[in-house]
Amino acid sequence: MSRKGVVVSNPYNRLTAEQVELVHRTSLELLEKPGILFYNREAVEMLEKAGASSTATREGEYEAWWVSIPPRIVEQVLETVPHKITLGARNPEHSLQLDTDEMRVHFGSGSETNIWLEVHPETFVSQDNPQNKRVFPTITRRRGTVADLCVSAHLAENLENLDFFLRNVNVQDKDITEENKDVNKFFASLNNTTKHVMGGLTDFRQLDNVVKMAEIIAGGREELQKNPLVSFITSVIKSPLQVVEETAEKLIAVSRMGLPVVISTSPQGGSTAPIEEAGMLAQVNAEVLTGVIINQLAAPGAPVIYGAVPVRARMDNLHDMYGVPELFHYNASCAQMARYYGIPCYSTAGVGDSKVPGMQAAAEKMLTHSTVPLAAPGLIHYSFGLLEKTMTFSMEQALLDNHHISMAKFLCHEPAISLETMEEQKEVINKVMNSPNRLYARYARRALRRGDIFPNYPFQGDLEDQDDTLLKAHAEVQKLLSNPPNHLSEEICTEIFDRVPGLLTRLNPYKK
Amino acid sequence: MSEDIIDKIISNVLQGRRDKDDEGIDEGYEDQPGVTELVNEALEQGVDVEKILAEGLSRGMELVGEKYETGEYFIPDMLAAAEAVGAAMEIMEPHLLKKGSKESKGKVIIATVEKDIHDIGKNLVSIMLKGAGFAVIDLGINVPASRIAEEVEKENAGLVGLSALLDTTMPFMAKTIEELENRNLRDKVKVIIGGAPTSDQFAREIGADAFGADAFAAVNLAEKLMVRGGK
């Protein structure tokens, strides 16, 4: 049983029951009209068999189908969709149980950033006063590598609030090709963290190799079904309301393997979806339901996750925005829709639009870190180290985010107010009022030991005229990375390297 | 036998348990005697009063201080321990006097100055000083300069601790020092000031001996000024 994350026993319901019904009804209407534009023939055939009607069309060079999905297909798949899902892990203690009745929120990493940001403490001497020497963090940026992915998975292993690992670095080494990318990125992740690994596939043809790797680690095909230590994200929808050919193929294949899959759709309010919440919700909900339908028609009862990633467009350049209040509106409402259907939800919080760690990043991240969990989605991704939307990853920022998530989790604690606690507190108040100094400090001790008192900010600077939080975070990252990595055994590594083609020898820790 | 009770005193100082009704930090101390009961028991058993002080109470406070330094203990733990030791010292005092031992590290008058009613910081310092083995006379809040000077004279105190939280009441610290000077007491008594708006610079400006940034600093300064005799 998962003890990770935090239970939100009384989740924030942004929408009224009537509004939830209205979003649902509108999504059903959209599924019928205009319907969904499919680029994948197999998915269309499954839908036709289930009672949908389709009309062939052409979109440029590609064949496509307008599919009108009647409400009864949605009702049918909601009958078979599971409400409880296990996300396994190399270390079974790190397994996550997603249960739509329990409302436990878990935090994970992502996305596949292109830029790896490094912090370097550097000493500066004042030109005006050479006696004035200061250490400031300087920042460099470069393209991410598979070695960086190994390091970030190692860091993830050491962050106590990181419950699942979604690779956060796009590996851009010269010897990484489209063909060998998937096996190397999954191996780099699985060899450096014992937590659940979730990821998308670059090349559908590598699915079997990635699953083979997971089976070797789990101890066989059946063991992997019981302990699915990997799950897949399929961005099957291209907003607005289109099903992508290759991703649909991946989704169907993963569903038939019985491995957990996230139906991820990321409409951008103001460009690929309405910016108004009503339209955004109706559309994103219809998009996720489309993915769920494909998954359940391919394999009824297969584990599936409601992956709504709605974002907002910047009005000056139409780029994504994450550090805005609308992100909370969209995501809290989607979490509620997923709860209405009884499907585990995958949501988003903690992304900074800022390019570097600092005040802007902290404000943007805390806005959603502290609010989205209150709506009780089962999984929250993008929560560690993301900057510049989802373009840049910083380990120092990931460490700061880890602490900010501690705060967010604490926010979700239920009020401990009962007859029993009130009796205890009345007794304490009476005792204190009859004591010489009338101080409650001694009575804080038990609460402190129980963990009921939130600790001080761990990266608080020592200086009175300079913020040295980032320097402190840098030092702590170095300390955590000095912990030995928890690699797969030599036997398992050898078997993986023997049976899975395309792995880079330098990733084998026993061949150095 | 005496070692057993000394060990119990140390562990109850660490738990900050003044008496048997006090909750400690850990489970398992319910209805067990606290520091004051244990000190009484030790005295009844004839354990040497200086041994109780040095090897029990003071050793316990040293260990509490070490735990605070390493981050295991927090201010509430220090205060609870200091309160327990302070209460035990009141029991010990006549016995120390009888034996001719020095009953305390010195006498301290402490007060929040005139027109100021804030006392959290002053109380913390008071508790910590008692726990460190000083005899503390706490005059409370809103105490006029003349009253403080009178008490210093009457009690022959070696140290005065003045507290103020408001910048409007800070000048009464200067007034108190003037009063001590007027009564020719200033050379006989050290003055430490503290409180949010005060500072090292302000202490120098008004002719105080030292500024304590927090309760620990105040105790360290008291040790320095009274026990080790330096400024």
The whole-angstrom separation of Cα A172 and Cα A169 is 9
Residue A63 tokens, joined: 């064949």
Q: By mean pLDDT, which of A230-234, B4-8, B78-82, B141-145 is the weakest? A: B78-82
Q: Do A437 and B127 touch (CB under 8 A)?
A: yes
What residue spans of A219-276 are helical by DSSP H? 221-226, 245-257
pLDDT of residue B136: 94
| Chain B contact residues (CB < 8 Å to A) | 16, 22-26, 74-77, 79-80, 83, 120, 123-124, 126-127
Residues of B in contact with A442 (CB under 8 A): 16, 22, 76, 79-80, 83
Structure confidence at residue B231 (pLDDT): 39
Which member of B26, B79, B120 has the closest CB to residue A442? B79
Q: Which two tokens stand for residue A387?
A: 């900057």
Is the pLDDT confidence value at B75 over 60? yes
Spell out a b/e string for A69-97, using b for 16 or more CB atoms within 10 Å of the CB, else e: bbeebbebbbeebbeebbbbbbeeebbbb
Question: Which parts of chain A sit beneath pLDDT 70?
Answer: 1-2, 512
Q: Of residues B89 and A22, which shows the higher confidence score?
A: A22
Suggest the residue from A425, A432, A442 to mutate for an interface test with chain B (most B CBs closer than 10 A). A442
pLDDT category of residue B229 using cuts at 50, 70 and 90: low
- Tokens 């330096």 label which residue? B230
Whether B1 shows a pLDDT value over 70: the answer reads: no
- Would the CB atoms of A445 and B80 count as touching at under 8 Å? yes
Domains delineated in chain B: 2-99 (1.10.1240.10), 107-227 (3.40.50.280)
Give the DSSP letter of residue B109.
E
**Cα-to-chain-centroid distance, residue A17:** 27
Walk me through the domains of chain A, giving residue ranges and CATH numbers.
6-13+81-116+144-411 (3.20.20.480), 17-68 (no CATH), 419-450 (no CATH)
pLDDT number for residue A228: 98
Which residues in chain A are closer than 8 Å to B124, comparing Cβ atoms? 439
CA distance B46 to chain A (A): 30
Q: What is the rounded average pLDDT of the residues B6-29?
A: 93
pLDDT at position A1 is: 52
Q: Is A439 on the interface with B (CB under 8 A)?
A: yes
Residue of A65, A77, A71, A64 lying closest to A32 (CA atoms):
A71
- Answer yes or no: is pLDDT of B227 > 90: no
- Over residues A475-484, the pLDDT tens digits come to 999 999 999 9
Buried b (16+ CB within 10 A) or exposed e, A269-306: bbbbbbeebebbbbbbbbbbbbbbbbbbbbbeebbbbb
* pTM (two decimals): 0.89
- Nearest-CA neighbor of B145 among B160, B129, B155? B160
Contact A445 B75 (CB under 8 A): no
pLDDT of A458 reads 93
Let me know the angle formed at the C-alpha of A144 by A141 and A149, rounded to the nearest 5 degrees: 130
Query: Are A442 and B76 an interchain contact pair (Cβ–Cβ within 8 Å)?
Result: yes
Predicted confidence at residue A482, as pLDDT, reads 98
CB contact under 8 A, A439 and B16: no
Residue B102 pLDDT grade (very low, low, confident, very high; cuts 50, 70, 90): confident
Spatial contact of A411 and A380, defined as CB atoms under 8 Å apart: no
Residues of A in contact with B22 (CB under 8 A): 442
Question: Residue A133: enclosing H or E segment and its boundaries?
Answer: strand A133-143
CA distances from B89 to A155, B1, B26, B54, B76 (A): 51, 22, 24, 12, 20
Mutate to test the interface with A, among B79, B112, B139 (most CBs of A within 10 A): B79
Q: A444 to chain B: nearest residue by CA?
A: B76
Q: Using an 8 Å CB-CB cutoff, list chain A residues near B80.
A: 441-442, 445
Encode pLDDT of A54-64 as tens digits: 999 999 999 99
Query: Can you give A340-365 as a three-state secondary structure string?
Result: HHCCCEEEECCCCCCCCCCHHHHHHH
Residue B182: Cβ within 10 Å count: 12
**Under 8 Å CB-to-CB from B130, ≥6 apart: which residues?**
B82, B83, B85, B86, B89, B136
Q: How far is B25 from chain A (nearest CA, A)?
A: 6
Token readout for A463 is 């200086």
